[in-house]
Structure 1
Amino acid sequence: MTPAVLVGVDGSPESTAAAHWAAEEALRRGAPLRLLHAWPWLTDGRAAFADPENLPAAGQRMLAATAREVRERHPGVAVDTDVVLDAAVDGLVAAAEDTGLLVLGSRGLGGFAGLLVGSVGMAVAARSTVPLVLVRPARPAAARRAEADRAEADRAEADEEEGVAVPEVVVGVDVAAPSHAVLDFAFHEAALRGARVRAVHGWDLPPAFAVVGFLPSGVEMAQLQTAEEKALAAALAGYRERHPETEVVEQVRLGAARTLVEDSVGAELVVVGRRRRPHELGLRLGRVAHAVLHHAHAPVAVVPHD
């Protein structure tokens, strides 16, 4: 059976939006959807509310209402509900271990306060053992359409058919150490959506230029750019062969985080990696992933890798 898609819900509009995004993802994957609600203040050994039927009325109504709304809007997905009696971060990380994907809203309340821009969302992103998607809150349709139109205009030269909007999954690629987990996730998500992959490599000037205190000449910049483009092409060669049906656009620019944020406008999904570390105290998000989580205009997937 395909592993479930897990989503944290707390009754906030953001977590409800995340639940609907997760339901659509579950349908694409042919996977069940699991709605999880946390009661972090019940972690002192008491089991009074261990049975969801014994939850306080407000929590009971919220969980049931969210499940009902998701089932009505996405009738093809199997929806289950669950409660974890644990602090939000620990509970989410533990519950996600036997699932295929964890989804959270961008800024929840209650047990999931501060998601994405706060401590809980960042902590879960740094510790989750499965890919985590953080979903931005819904914005006015006119604003979303304007952003998508601007993004399409900027990418017109890369489109095979001028004027036809092509859905994209944007993935950040570290050409020095390409991650199979990150790239495999991005290509899989693109295939599920019938989208193309925009592989983005942002590079920085070699430290030597900072030491000597001057910028490279135009010729040197062109040489550096060419070298980085070749490195990206080499990193993607095997994936192009394994996924001949997926269109790939390669983009190399100075500045990784800025490029990913700019390319997130109008994207279906942005995929970044997070390196696993052996000790819990060392778990941190890299600067690129951190910046993208805070500033991207699309849902962001953080994929753990070795």
Structure 2
Amino acid sequence: MTTRHVLAGLDGSPQSETAAMWAAAEAQRLGAPLRLLHVWPWLNGENADRAEPGDLRPAALDALARVADRIRLAHPELSVETAVRPDDPVDGLVAEARGQEMLVLGSRGLGGFAGLLVGSVSLAVAARATVPTVLVREAGPLPRASTAAVGDVVVGMDSGEPGEAVLEFAFAEAERRGAGLRAVHGWDPAPAWAFGGVMPPPVDIPGQEGTKAALLSQHLTRQLANYPGVAVVEDVRLGGGAKALLDASAGAELVVIGRRERRHHIGMLLGPVAHAVLHHSTVPVAVVPHL
């Protein structure tokens, strides 16, 4: 049986090193090996006898080894591997992540060696990866190794189509951390138009909110049967999905959002809520693909 790794992409920046440490703690919780990976086109093949002018492979391997040594000191029982891949960063990371437990990236790489994992790269990977992809900010909280009281795992939900894979991932993360789960659904009533402009929507807001809360509870109940030890808070609020998630995530361990899988790469692959959360969240964000 093929071993599933937690995969961390590194580019030599402080943000990617923070992401690697986050990935190490996650791998320990999962009981999975950790693989540190650097992807860049100008790398010699794995069996190259010597470096050529402009080849970045020796520098990449040295940098990966230093991070691996730091991780082994912090997690001596964790299996840590390093690898380089000569490829386009987005294509290479997406390809290496297939079949793994998850992919972890720094969310604001600012250069490193050769500029890997700048914002556009990490966003493109999160939009295409077939496994959960976690983007970690350098200033974000690192996960705790113990199961003592911790911040919530916050999951954004569409009350109509929540995505069972997204919910399952969020429940499993909360269980591993000994954390609570806050399920957030933000919504805005549709505006009404009149001769004088936009009018307040003629809807029963408390009634609609109650309907949405009932749908949310119904979806959560199915997962609660598999994770009875996870304490769940249902959070339905006005203000739109992105604002609701960002407001609810203060002090959280992790924010979980969904991304619908598409068969082609034309047009926007991450919705506006996902974009806003990825750009503005101060805590790690997991993007989970679902049907």
- TM-score, with normalisation over the residues of structure 1? 0.83
Identity of matched residues, %? 52
| Cα distance change of structure 1 residues 132 and 73 upon mapping to structure 2, 3 Å threshold | same
Letter in 2 for 1:247: A
* Segment drifting more, 280-289 vs 51-60: 51-60
Question: Which aligned pairs between 1:38-187 and structure 2 lie closer than 5 A?
Answer: 38-42=39-43, 48-51=44-47, 54=50, 56-108=57-109, 109=111, 110=113, 113-115=116-118, 118-138=119-139, 166-187=150-171
2:260 paired with 1:275: yes
- TM-score, with normalisation over the residues of structure 2? 0.87
2:185 paired with 1:201: yes
2:275 paired with 1:290: yes
SS at match of 1:261: helix
Letter in 2 for 1:275: R
- C-alpha separation in 1, matches of 2:117 and 2:61: 22
- C-alpha separation in 2, matches of 1:16 and 1:52: 26
Q: Give 5+ residue unaligned stretches, structure 1.
A: 43-47, 145-163
- C-alpha separation in 2, matches of 1:263 and 1:15: 26
- C-alpha separation in 2, matches of 1:96 and 1:283: 21
- C-alpha separation in 1, matches of 2:5 and 2:174: 19
2:247 paired with 1:262: yes
Structure 1 match to 2:145: none
2:288 paired with 1:303: yes
- C-alpha separation in 1, matches of 2:88 and 2:192: 45
Structure 2 match to 1:7: 8
- C-alpha separation in 2, matches of 1:120 and 1:98: 20
SS at match of 1:289: helix
Q: Is the 1:269–1:298 contact (alpha carbons within 8 Å) kept by the matching residues of 2?
A: yes
| Cα distance change of structure 1 residues 202 and 82 upon mapping to structure 2, 3 Å threshold | same
Letter in 1 for 2:285: V
Shift of 1:113: 3.3
Structure 2 match to 1:16: 17
Q: Give 5+ residue unaligned stretches, structure 2.
A: 52-56, 142-147
- C-alpha separation in 1, matches of 2:193 and 2:48: 61
Q: Is the 2:192–2:201 contact (alpha carbons within 8 Å) kept by the matching residues of 1?
A: no
Note the alpha carbon deviations across 1:71-121, whole angstroms, 9 max, x for none.
111112100011111010000000000211000012223456354xx2101
Question: What RMSD, in angstroms, separates the aligned Cα atoms of the two structures?
Answer: 2.1
Structure 2 match to 1:249: 233
More helix by share: 1
Structure 1 match to 2:193: 211
- C-alpha separation in 2, matches of 1:39 and 1:297: 28
- C-alpha separation in 2, matches of 1:99 and 1:172: 23
- C-alpha separation in 1, matches of 2:58 and 2:92: 21
